[in-house]
Amino acid sequence: MGFAELGISAPVIDALARNGIDAPFEVQSLAIPDALAGRDVLVRSRTGSGKTLAFAIPIVERLKSDAPRPSAVILVPTRELASQVSDEFQPLAKARGLRSAAVYGGVSIQNQAKDAERAHILIATPGRLDDLANRKMVDMSKVSVFVLDEADRMLDMGFMPQVQAIMRRLPKQGRQTMFFSATLDGAVGNLARYYTKDAVLHEIGEASTTVEQADHRFIPVEPAGKVDKLIEILEDDRELTLVFVRTKHGADRLVNKLKRRGVNAAAMHGDMSQQARERAFSRFESEHVTVLVATDVAARGLDLDNISHVINYDPPQDDKGYLHRVGRTARAGRGGMGITFVQPQEEAEVGRMASRLKLGEEFKEEGMRVLPPQRVYASAGGGVFGRRNRRR
C-alpha cells in the first residue's frame, strides 16, 4: 500500500518524494490510518523504524493553516532529536501552508518564544517547554494533537515531572494523544493508560531483548591496547561510526588521541555548548567526520540510518544502555555492527549482561567466560556495575 492509498494528499506525497521517500514503512502503514481518523494511538517501535513520519504525516494532514498556534505539540527527550524531528516536519508542513518550530535548552529562550508563537506545530524538549509555559511565553490551551516521542527514554532521563506538568496544561477534551516508545510497560504504560482514551495499539516487530538486525562482538582488551584496537577496527570498511565512552573528559581525551593517530573524529558531550554539539552532529551527519565519540546522554536520540558501527569503548552501565547504544545502528532495514571492548576486570559483569541479552555465545566466541546472570541493582549509579557502585 502506498501513501496515496493511505489517504495522504498530493502536496505531502510530493514533499516526501523530493526527500526520496516513495513508500511507507510498516509503522507508517499501521499507524497513519488511525492517526488520520483522530484516534489516540500507542506505538511500540524501536528507533529507526520510521516512526517520526507515522505521526508527522497525519498531523500536517489534519491541521489547517488557520488553526491555533500551536495546535500540535511533539515532546522529545533531547535537543538533537528535537532538531531532527523538526527537519522532517518542515517540508511537510510547508506543503500544507503550516509552520513548525523546535524549542530546546542551550539557546536563547526569547528567540525560541517568538518562533513558538508563530508555529502551528511545536517540537520541544520537556524542560524548555515547561519553562516557556511557566513564563507564559507559550499557550497550550488550544493544542489538539499531543505526541510523546521516545517516551521510555523521556522517563529514563527523569522528565516525568515536566511531562506531567505539560500534559496538565493541555485541553482535556477533544485532544488526540499519541505515544511512541520502544517499550509500553511499567511507567510508560501507566502514563499512556492515564492520558489516552480508547487508544489503538500497534506493536512493530516482536518485543526483543537485543538488537536482532545487528551483529554483536565482545572484544577482550588490555587498558594499554584499547586505542590501538579501536584504530584497527576504524581502518576496516565502514560507514559512520559512533564510539561510546563513559565520561565527558574521556570523550575529549579519546578524540585527541585519535586525531594524533590520523583519525578524523569529533566529540559530543554535555559540557559542550548547544552550538558546538549541533556543529559536531552536522559534521558527522554530512560525513565530514566519520567517527563521533559521545557520552550516553549526548547521543540519545541520534537518528541516522548510515551508522554502520557502534563501538562501546567503555561498556554501558546496564542492559538498557546496551540496547540504546547499539540501537543507533542496524536501522531502517539495514545491518550494523555493535562492538564492546571488555577489559579483564570488566569480564564478569559484561559477561552477565551478554547472557541476559541472549548474547552469551557471541561473548564466548572471543574466549571469555559467561557467568550466570545475577540481580542488577537499580541504584543511582547502578546498572551492570550497580554492585560496585552501591553505597555501603
Query: Is residue 346 one of the residues assigned to a domain?
Result: yes
Query: Is residue 392 one of the residues assigned to a domain?
Result: no
- The three grid cell numbers given for residue 207, joined into one nine-digit string: 518485543
- What per-residue confidence (pLDDT) applies to 272? 86
Domain boundary (139, 173, 203) is at: 203
Query: Is residue 49 one of the residues assigned to a domain?
Result: yes
111 and 33, same domain (yes or no):
yes
- Render each residue's pLDDT in the chain as its tens digit; 392 residues: 799 999 999 999 999 999 999 999 999 999 999 999 999 999 998 766 789 999 999 999 999 999 999 999 999 998 888 998 999 999 999 999 999 999 999 888 999 999 999 999 999 999 999 999 999 999 999 999 999 999 988 888 889 999 999 999 999 899 999 999 988 888 888 999 999 999 999 988 654 556 778 999 999 999 999 999 999 999 998 999 999 999 999 999 999 999 999 999 999 987 888 788 888 988 998 999 999 999 987 666 677 878 999 999 999 988 878 988 898 888 766 789 999 999 999 999 999 999 989 999 999 998 898 876 554 433 333 333 333 333 33
- What per-residue confidence (pLDDT) applies to 298? 64
186 and 316, same domain (yes or no):
no
Closest CA to 163 of 133, 141, 203, 201: 133
167 and 244, same domain (yes or no):
no
Query: Is residue 352 one of the residues assigned to a domain?
Result: yes
114 and 33, same domain (yes or no):
yes
- What per-residue confidence (pLDDT) applies to 372? 65
- What per-residue confidence (pLDDT) applies to 390? 32
43 and 125, same domain (yes or no):
yes
74 and 37, same domain (yes or no):
yes
- What per-residue confidence (pLDDT) applies to 210? 60
- What per-residue confidence (pLDDT) applies to 281? 87
- What per-residue confidence (pLDDT) applies to 95? 97
Closest CA to 378 of 295, 316, 318: 318
197 and 226, same domain (yes or no):
no
Total structural domains within the chain: 2
Closest CA to 357 of 324, 315, 313, 319: 319
Asked whether the CA dihedral 197, 150, 201, 177 is positive or negative, the reply is: positive
Q: Structural domain of residue 173, as residue ranges?
A: 10-203
Query: Is residue 121 one of the residues assigned to a domain?
Result: yes
261 and 322, same domain (yes or no):
yes
3-state secondary structure labels for all residues of the chain: CCCCCCCCCHHHHHHHHHCCCCCCCHHHHHHHHHHHCCCCEEEECCCCCCHHHHHHHHHHHHCCCCCCCCCEEEECCCHHHHHHHHHHHHHHHHHCCCCEEEECCCCCHHHHHHHHHHCCEEEECHHHHHHHHHCCCCCCCCCCEEEEECHHHHHHCCCHHHHHHHHHHCCCCCCEEEEEECCCCHHHHHHHHHHCCCCEEEECCCCCCCCCCEEEEEEECCHHHHHHHHHHHHCCCCCEEEEECCCHHHHHHHHHHHHHCCCCEEEECCCCCHHHHHHHHHHHHCCCCCEEEECHHHHCCCCCCCEEEEEECCCCCCHHHHHHHHCCCCCCCCCEEEEEEECHHHHHHHHHHHHHCCCHHHHHCCCCCCCCCCCCCCCCCCHHHHHHHCCC
Domain boundary (170, 203, 236) is at: 203
47 and 74, same domain (yes or no):
yes
- What per-residue confidence (pLDDT) applies to 208? 52
Q: What is the pTM of this model?
A: 0.68
Domain of 321, CATH number, reads 3.40.50.300
Query: Is residue 4 one of the residues assigned to a domain?
Result: no
* 333 Ramachandran zone, left/alpha/beta (phi>0; psi -120 to 50): left
C-beta atoms surrounding 183 within 10 Å? 17
162 and 85, same domain (yes or no):
yes
- What per-residue confidence (pLDDT) applies to 275? 81
112 and 154, same domain (yes or no):
yes
233 and 382, same domain (yes or no):
yes
Query: Is residue 301 one of the residues assigned to a domain?
Result: yes
Domain boundary (203, 238, 257) is at: 203
Query: Is residue 208 one of the residues assigned to a domain?
Result: no
- What per-residue confidence (pLDDT) applies to 264? 93
